[in-house]
Structure 1
Amino acid sequence: MAKKSIGPVRREFSPWEHPDHPPFIEFRNVTKKFGDFVAVNNLSLEIYEREFFALLGGSGCGKTTLMRMLAGFETPTSGQIFLDGQDMAGIPPYRRPSNMMFQSYALFPHMSVEKNIAFGLKQDKLPASEIDARVAEMLRLTKLEQFAKRKPHQLSGGQRQRVALARSLAKRPKVLLLDEPLGALDRKLREETQFELMNLQTELKVTFLIVTHDQEEAMTVADRIAVMDKGELVQVATPAEIYEAPSSKFVADFIGDINLIEAKITEKSADGVRLQPVKGGFTIDSDQTSDADVGDTVWYAIRPEKVRIAQGRTEEGAVNQVGGVVWDIGYLGDVSIIHAKVGADHHDTLRATFANVSRMVENPITWDDEVVLSFGRDAGVILKG
């Protein structure tokens, strides 16, 4: 059995932990070139049935190209793509057991909601009774029954998004491909819709593959995430693994907010590693092991919420604490973000966040305060450059 995943996973659903479990979608040594530009570079990836999988990365990383090759809108330059055991080579998009929902929704403006949902079913010449039953099911699942007779222009952005989703699912594809599906929604509605997508995917037991550049969206909806950069996979793991145990400096920096401290390894033992930040001023003791040698330069990555902050001065000989001066503060309501100047001559910045659990704070930390920042031996990870 493979290593057990870090963080929460759906009960009794983690097929990637079992090497003998067959993948539902497989990219095998896939390369896609546009002229001299390599959009996807010799990429291999396995996705499992009923999984909600996210392709995450910045613009131009190859995530949309990868999805379009699965959908049949692009042809691989080399390599193979399998869906449910079948090689997709030469199979046109309309013959593939997948459906794609575009960011623009592409609804027919002259058709009502129910006719938009029924369109693909009529193209497939399904019996009228079955079309009516599927449309009714989709209207129920997407909570659109009362809007069935309306035209797209009479709907809100969130409602149009649900119509496009219902139309995509009405044909009962084996895989639903979602290309930045929530990009046009405002933040609050986007957050609500993310959970609606998750509930719908669980109820229908359909494999979902979502392309997004929104880290929070991928972390919320996906069972696993593939982080991509320059046409290659950088890390494939659960959201918690991506966040808590990034495989590289790139992933650590790309996902969420993080402190990246350049440091040299000064000691190694069975209990862990001691680091000296390059800019000096304090030492870091970590219970992590590292294959880097004493004297090597590495990066110590620690999330701001794992850094404790208090008013006062450092204690002599205490582990993983450093004095600093508050340089900047961000108050976000539920949490506050503190930027403190630390290290020798205050040449480095360390970020800490803390929850505002009380409405009233008598002595809040404020600008120019002297503070102590500290963290546990297990709080961060050691990464090579």
Structure 2
Amino acid sequence: MKSLGSIRRSFAPWNDPAATPYIRLENVTKKFGDFVAVNDLSLDIYEREFFALLGASGCGKTTLLRMLAGFEEPSAGRIFLDGQNLSGIPPYRRPVNMMFQSYALFPHMTVEANIGFGLKQDRMPRDQIAARVAEMLKMVKLEQFAKRKPHQLSGGQRQRVALARSLAKRPKVLLLDEPLGALDKKLREETQFELTDLQQELGLTFVVVTHDQEEAMTMADRIAILDKGEVMQVATPAETYEAPASRFVAEFVGSVNLFDGSVSARQGSVASIAYGDGLTIAADNAGDAAVGDQVAFAIRPEKVRVASRKPEAGADNVMSGAVWDIAYLGDMTIYHVKLDDGRVVKSAMLNSSRLVEDPLTWDDRAWITFAPDAGVVLTR
């Protein structure tokens, strides 16, 4: 099988049949009255993994995190951590710590007092607390702010204090609930990489809840996409984007063009998909689709080429239309091309040169093309 996306690192215990999951959720259900927040969900997370729970509001991701932390108990099913059943174990006795979206810092305490609070509650000797706090301050680069109080810090600095406090007790697992939601875009992007580097340096298991796709794709080794309390797909960021398991995942992650049709012919992994009025798409990645199946062909906008000149005869997957909309974003230009059958297809073209090689403007006649292996056939 060809590699999908960039190679993040060699760490991939989920591909080892002999590897034992560090966190295991077995048929976990959580109900609040008649509402089912998590529905018969099973999931494996491995030691030292940076794992993301991604989904829209109300999909059950925060409820899952709270059950791992011990703030909620499952209505059914079991949760294991390092082989231990967590049922009935209160939050303060679990080897996990949780960093909340609001950071929940004590406003009357200094930075160093906030970081050392949990250690003080555990009755750690004073000299050891001082040493651990100093270590945490250095780790998050806040040594010079040790005597300040939260209201004297920026949003990014408060986020670092909350992170240091969460890590001070050296938990086996750190749970992060929308940890970067309060930061501005530029700082959020910088912090994503810092968190990833820190997690690898410490060798801890991180489980993060987020609704931000870019955040999950940047930080996580694997992503679980949730909908209505169920797992839609668990995969690496590249696999999630390039090989979505369903129409829901394809539409939820990033931008996508979908062509609905039926498989008219199949030879090996290559399928012909009939759609529209006598039109056919050649698709290499047909999966388990059989002749006669109703399918959707999903292709990302950056895989679609748009040009003012008609391709040579015999080219695969050629469609014609007119430029309907254009958005110039600096690094790329987004084209919406309205095909002759009325369908609108989105293309994202990289601006690799300062000069426009093939200028297109509104209402121009245009042809779009894409390679047979550029998209994926979805059967559900």
Question: What is the RMSD of the two structures over their aligned residues, measured on CA atoms?
Answer: 1.6
Identity rate of aligned residues, in percent? 66
Task: After superposing the two structures, state which structure 1 stretch, 361-370 or 330-339, moved more.
Answer: 361-370
Q: In structure 2, which of residues 35, 41, 62 is the aligned counterpart of residue 37 of structure 1?
A: 35
Deviation at 1:297, TM superposition (A): 2.0
CA change 1:122–1:4 in 2 (3 A) is farther
Deviation at 1:333, TM superposition (A): 1.3
Query: Are 2:284 and 1:287 equivalent residues in the alignment?
Result: yes
Query: Are 2:372 and 1:377 equivalent residues in the alignment?
Result: yes
Helix, strand or coil for the counterpart of 2:264?
strand
Q: In structure 2, which of residues 347, 352, 366 is the aligned counterpart of residue 352 of structure 1?
A: 347
Query: Are 2:38 and 1:49 equivalent residues in the alignment?
Result: no
Partner of 1:272: 270
* Mapped contact 1:40–1:232 kept (Cα < 8 A): yes
Query: Are 2:308 and 1:341 equivalent residues in the alignment?
Result: no
Deviation at 1:369, TM superposition (A): 1.4
Distance in 2 (alpha carbons) for counterparts of 1:173 and 1:101? 12
Distance in 1 (alpha carbons) for counterparts of 2:355 and 2:143? 46
Say how many residue pairs are matched. 380
TM-score (normalised: structure 2)? 0.96
Deviation at 1:286, TM superposition (A): 1.1
Q: In structure 2, which of residues 297, 305, 309 is the aligned counterpart of residue 308 of structure 1?
A: 305
Distance in 2 (alpha carbons) for counterparts of 1:10 and 1:338? 31
Distance in 1 (alpha carbons) for counterparts of 2:379 and 2:26? 28
Query: Are 2:312 and 1:299 equivalent residues in the alignment?
Result: no
AA paired with 2:335? I
Deviation at 1:275, TM superposition (A): 1.1
Distance in 1 (alpha carbons) for counterparts of 2:187 and 2:331? 19
AA paired with 1:329? I
Deviation at 1:307, TM superposition (A): 0.7
Helix, strand or coil for the counterpart of 2:98?
strand
CA change 1:223–1:325 in 2 (3 A) is same
* Mapped contact 2:308–2:358 kept (Cα < 8 A): no
Distance in 2 (alpha carbons) for counterparts of 1:157 and 1:240? 31
Partner of 2:126: 128
Distance in 1 (alpha carbons) for counterparts of 2:2 and 2:89? 36
Query: Are 2:312 and 1:320 equivalent residues in the alignment?
Result: no
Distance in 2 (alpha carbons) for counterparts of 1:164 and 1:60? 25
Partner of 1:365: 360
What 5-or-longer segments of structure 2 have no aligned partner? none
Deviation at 1:308, TM superposition (A): 1.1
Partner of 2:327: 330
Helix, strand or coil for the counterpart of 2:74?
coil
Helix, strand or coil for the counterpart of 2:251?
helix
Distance in 1 (alpha carbons) for counterparts of 2:59 and 2:98? 20
Helix, strand or coil for the counterpart of 2:63?
helix
TM-score (normalised: structure 1)? 0.95
Deviations 1:28-57 (A, max 9, x none): 111111111111111111101110000001
